[in-house]
A and B are shown apart, each in its own frame.
Chain A
C-alpha cells in the first residue's frame, strides 16, 4: 500500500491530503516544517503573544474527505428528461420537478455549445448570462474568476453584478462617512491586532460574532486572538439580539437590542457623550465635517426629539441605564469597535436602512478619535503583523483573474455592455424592464453607487440562457421563492448548472455538468487571500502561506475540472486557442502565476512544487503601521493599502470621502441624492418597514435573525458533509431527517406549545420552512435565530413555488426589499414571521 501526501488549500485553510491507493484517507492542517515558520511576537501589557507554528482550519474543512466523496456529488452529465431542444419541447415549467437522465459528456457539451450558438445567433450575446457563487472551491487558476470568467468574457455575456451580501450597510453607508470604497466600505485592517492588545481597554463587538464567521477565509487562525485579548485584560462587550457564540463563551457583557434598532442605540450613546462632554472636540474640529448638524439632531434641536437613552430604550428594548453605562465606559476606556469588517459580518448591516447604523458606527468612533491608539474599527479577523511587500495575487486581483492576469499572453474583456443585478435577477426574468441604481460592488469610485442601470438595454435582447456555476442562491439571497418562479419561466430557454455537488439550484437546470473539486486538479493560491476589495486579507492568518494545490486524486465519477470543461466548450465554439491562451494546460497556468509573483525571488519552482508551499516571513525589522493612525496624526497614509487612490499623492493625508475627512453630513450624498429621505446626507434612525413596531407584527410577531452560519461556509459543506449534521448547533436529526435549527426563547416557545426538539414551521406570506426547535435563553424574547445558507432546498411539492421547504432555506421567508430606495443591498434581517409546532 502506497501512501502519498499532497498539499492543497480550501476556503477555510491549507491542508495536507493523504492518499492511499488512489483514495483520500486523511485531511489535516497543512504540515509545514517548523523551521519554515517565522512567528512574530507582540509584546503588550507585560505579556508576549506569538502564534503557534501550526495552521488552524475552520471546522468544516475537517470534513473535506467526506465532502469529496459525498453522495451529493454531481457525478455524471445529466439532462432533464423532458428537455428536448431539438424538438423545441423545453417544458421549462417542470424545472425543479422533473427527473434527469444520464448522458455522455459529448452529448452534454454538444447541447450546451449548440444552444449557445443558437442563442447568440438569434438574439445576440446579450441573451447569454451566467453567474458564479462564492467559495465552493479555492484556487487562482481554476476558481470563480478563472475559467468561467475567461470563457464567458470571450463568448460575450450579460454580466450580473454581485451585491456585497455579507456587509451591505458598510458598502452602501460607511463609504459616505469615511471613504474606503476601494474596500467596499470596510476600513483598512493593518496592525490592529497589535494596536488592540497594546492600547485598547475594551472591545465592543457590535453585531459581530467572530467565533461563528471564523476569519472568513482564514480558517481558525484568529480564534486565539480573542483569548489573548482577554489575557491582556481587555473587556469584551457584545451587542447583538442573539447571545452569539463569541459572547456566550468569552463575553463580559451582553446587550440585546431588538433587531434593527441599532441606530437608535448608537444615537443614544452619542447623546450621553454630548451630555457628559466626553468626546474628542479637537479631533472633530480637525478631522471631520458637519458635526454640528449631527449634534443638533442628536440633541433634538432638529426634530424636538432628544435622542436620550430613555428615547432609545423604548425603541431598542435596552434599559436606558444600561445604555448610559455602556456609553460612559466606552468614553472612559480606549475602545475598539468591532463590526462590519471581515469576521464582523452581522445582522445589523443586512437589514432595513442598515447603511444608517454603519455610518453611525463610524461616527461613534470619530467622536472618540478614530485612529488614536486603541481606538479603531476592527472586525478582529484581519490585521496580524504582515509582509505586504511580497506580491502574490488573490483571485480577485487584476493579476489573479484568468482574463486579465499578467500571466496570460492575451487578455480578454467582455464586449457586452448590458448588465443585470443579482438581487433583481428574478424580476428581470419575470417582470422586465427593470431599473436600479448602483453597480453592486462599487470598488472603483463612490460614483458607482449612483449610476443608473436599465435592463434590457435599448435594442438589446433579454437574457435567454442562464449558466449557473458553483453554489446556490435559494439559501443565500432573499425571498427566494422568486428564484423558483424565475427558473420556471419560458423566457429562460436554457439553463446549465455546473457544480461539484447537487445544491438547491441544481434541480432547476436543463443540463448538469459535473465539475471536480480542487482536490482533484492542480492549482496555486494563497491561504486567506481573495485579493481585490479584501486586499491583504491573509493578514487574518498567523502566517502568510502560498500553496501549490496538488491534484490528489483523479476526478471522481465522470467529473472534470472547470478548465477542462470550458476548454471543451471553447473548442466546440471555435475559440479554444483564445480560451487556453495558445494551448496552456492548467499546470502551465500554475507555473505562470508562480512566475509573475514574488515567489521566484525566494524559492525555485522545483523546490516550491516539491515542498508544496512557501511561508512568507514577516521581516525582522518589521514596522507596524496601524490602520488610520496616519489620519489621526495628520500624516500621509503610511499603511500598505495599495488600492487607496490618494496614497502617495499630494492628498495622501485624506480619507476617500469627497472632503477627505469623516463626513457627518455626506458630501457624496449631498451632491448626488440630496433629497433621499431613506439615506439622507446625514444618517438618522429610521424605523424598519418590517420590524417589531410595524403593523405586520400583529400577524407575524417574531423577528427572524438569519446571520451567516457557523459550521458551514455559505451553502458549502452543510449536507455535503454529513458529519456536520451531528453538531447540534448546525442540524439535528429527527425521524431520519436532518433538520436545520431554529432558536427561540422559552417565553415565545411556551405559548406556542413548542418544546426543545419539536419540528416547527417558520412562515409568513413569503413562504414556509420546517426547522427543528432549540429553545434557548440566548435569544432575546421576540427574536428567532436561524442561520441563512442551507444548501438543502427540499420543497414538499417539488417544482412548486411557496411549497413548504423541509431543507431549512429560511431565506425563502426574507424580504426582497432592499436596504433603501437607492441603496440596493439585501436586507434579510428585516423579516417578521410566526412559528407553529408542525405535525406531519
Chain B
C-alpha cells in the first residue's frame, strides 16, 4: 500500500526546548537538496515554528508551546494557486514546492492561511518545510525535527500503516485529535493533541478561616443556565476548569454547607484566574 505521511504534535508533551526548530535549521540552512528544496536562509524563516503562549495570571500561569511545520494539507491551497505545477503533492502526501518552477511566484506564499510558506528574497522563491522528503527518500524514518524531539511530543509516520506508531496513537487518542483551523477546510496531515483552549481557575477562601485552605468545596461552571462542569476544590482550595471554549460567558457558582453561596461571572476571552473568592459564613441566629 502506498505510504501517506503524517505528524502528530502533542502539545501536552512539549516543553519548548526548540530542538525541532534548531534541527530543522541545521538540515536546511545553507544546504541545497536538488529536486526538493534550496537552502533556507540562515535567519528569518521558520520552517518549524514554535509559538509560545502564556496562559493565565499570577500565580496561576501555564505555558503552551505549539509546533507548526507545514501542515502538508490533503487539499493544499498552495497547489491551487501555483502555475506551471510549481507546487505539487507527492503520492505519499508531501507537498513540495519545486524550487525551479516556483521562481517569482509570490502568490504561493500568500495562498497559505497557516502562514508557513516563506519568501526568499534573494533566490526569488517561496520555501517551506518538506517533511525532510529528501531524507525519507533515502530511507530515513522521520524528519529531523521529530528525531530531535526529546519527549515524543512529535510523532511521525505512515498513516496508511495500521501498525505504525502514529496510527496507534490516532487509534487511542480519538476525540483528542484536532487540526489547527479546521475552518480552512484544507485537511492538514499534521494533527494536534492539547491545543490550548481557555481555563477558568480560582481559589476559594473561607472568610472566617483564612489560614486554612478551603478544600472540597463544590464549584460549578454553567453557561446559559446549564451546569456544564462540576468540580471540587483541591487541598489548596483551588479549582480549575480547563479546555473551555473561547469567548463564552460562564458563571462560576461556589457552594459549601454553612457558607453563603457565591456566583462569579466570567468571559473566556482570555484564560482567567479569578484570584481569591471569599465565602462568608451564614450567620447563626440566637448566638
Contacts and interface: CB of A to CB of B under 8 A. Distances in A.
A-B interaction: yes
Interface of A: 25-29, 52, 54, 56-57, 59-60, 62-66, 211, 219-221, 223-224, 227, 243, 245-246, 248-251, 253-256, 309-310, 320-322, 324-326, 328-329, 711, 722-729, 745, 776-781
Interface in B13-55: 13-19, 21-23, 25-27, 29-31, 42-43, 46, 50, 52, 54
Contact of B211 (A62, A66, A249, A309): A309
B150 A28 contact: no
A250 B15 contact: yes
A278 to B, nearest CB: 14
B151 interface: yes
Nearest to B10: A227
B13 A322 contact: no
Given A249-B62, A254-B59, A321-B237, 8 more contacts: A56-B148, A59-B22, A63-B22, A224-B150, A249-B15, A324-B211, A325-B236, A778-B58
27 contacts: A26-B27, A56-B19, A57-B148, A57-B150, A63-B25, A211-B15, A211-B17, A219-B150, A227-B13, A227-B151, A245-B15, A248-B61, A250-B15, A254-B61, A255-B59, A320-B211, A322-B213, A324-B211, A723-B21, A726-B21, A726-B43, A727-B21, A727-B50, A777-B54, A777-B56, A778-B61, A778-B63
A26 B138 CA distance: 15
A329 to B, nearest CB: 6
Given A62-B26, A227-B151, A321-B213, A329 B235 contact: yes
Nearest to B205: A321
Contacts of B151: 223-224, 227
Contacts of B101: none
Interface string B163-193: 0000000000000000000000000000000
Given A722-B42, A776-B54, A29 B15 contact: no
B147 interface: yes
A778 B273 CA distance: 13
A328 B58 CA distance: 23
Contacts of A25: 30-31
A28 B26 contact: yes
Contacts of A64: 26
B116 to A, nearest CB: 16
A245 B61 contact: no
A729 B52 contact: yes
Given A211-B17, A223-B15, A780 B58 contact: yes
Given A211-B17, A727-B18, A26 B213 contact: no
B17 to A, nearest CB: 5
A27 B60 CA distance: 39
Contacts of B260: none
Contact of A221 (B19, B57, B150, B238): B150
Contact of A728 (B52, B215, B236): B52
A725 B56 CA distance: 27
A778 B61 CA distance: 6
A724 B152 CA distance: 22
A310 B19 contact: no
Contacts of B58: 243, 256, 745, 777-781
Nearest to B31: A25
Contact of A62 (B13, B25, B42, B59): B25
A170 B264 CA distance: 46
Nearest to B24: A62
Interface residues of B, number: 49
B198 interface: no
A728 B46 CA distance: 13
Contacts of A219: 150
B262 to A, nearest CB: 18
Contacts of A250: 15
B43 A722 contact: yes
A25 B33 CA distance: 12
Contact of B57 (A56, A310, A777): A777
Nearest to B51: A728
A217 to B, nearest CB: 15
Nearest to A220: B150
Contact of B63 (A26, A223, A248, A329): A248
Contacts of A65: 26
B15 A28 contact: no
Nearest to B271: A777
B224 interface: no
Contact of B235 (A29, A220, A325): A325
Contact of B19 (A62, A245, A324, A328): A62
B128 interface: no
Nearest to A63: B22
A249 B59 contact: no
B176 to A, nearest CB: 15
A220 B61 contact: no
Nearest to A222: B150
A528 to B, nearest CB: 14
B23 to A, nearest CB: 5
Nearest to B212: A321
Contacts of B23: 28, 62
Nearest to A223: B150
Contacts of B26: 26-28, 62-65
B236 A322 contact: yes
A321 B210 contact: yes
B17 A59 contact: yes
Interface in B207-249: 210-213, 215, 235-238
Contacts of A243: 58-59, 61, 63
Given A62-B25, A211-B17, A778-B54, A28 B63 contact: no
A61 to B, nearest CB: 9
A253 B211 contact: no
Given A223-B15, A249-B14, A26 B31 contact: yes
Interface string B57-72: 1111111110000000
Given A224-B150, A224-B152, A726-B43, A59 B18 contact: yes
Given A28-B26, A245-B16, A324-B212, A54 B147 contact: yes
B213 A220 contact: no
B236 A723 contact: no
Nearest to B144: A28
B118 to A, nearest CB: 13
A324 B213 contact: yes
Contact of A321 (B21, B64, B211): B211
Contacts of B29: 66, 723
A777 B22 CA distance: 27
Contacts of B17: 59, 211, 220, 223
Residue from A59, A722, A728 having most chain B Cβ neighbours under 10 A: A59
B54 A246 contact: no
A783 to B, nearest CB: 10
Contacts of A726: 21, 43, 46
B16 A249 contact: yes
Residue from A64, A65, A243, A326 having most chain B Cβ neighbours under 10 A: A243
A321 B233 CA distance: 14
A309 B144 CA distance: 50
Nearest to A221: B150
B30 to A, nearest CB: 8
Residue from A56, A220, A249, A729 having most chain B Cβ neighbours under 10 A: A249
A310 B211 contact: yes
Interface in B133-160: 144, 147-152
B57 to A, nearest CB: 5
Nearest to A323: B211
Shortest Cβ-Cβ A-B pairs, 4 listed: A220-B150, A62-B22, A248-B63, A56-B150
Contacts of B57: 777
A655 B146 CA distance: 45
Contacts of A26: 26-27, 31
Contacts of A779: 58
A29 B43 contact: no
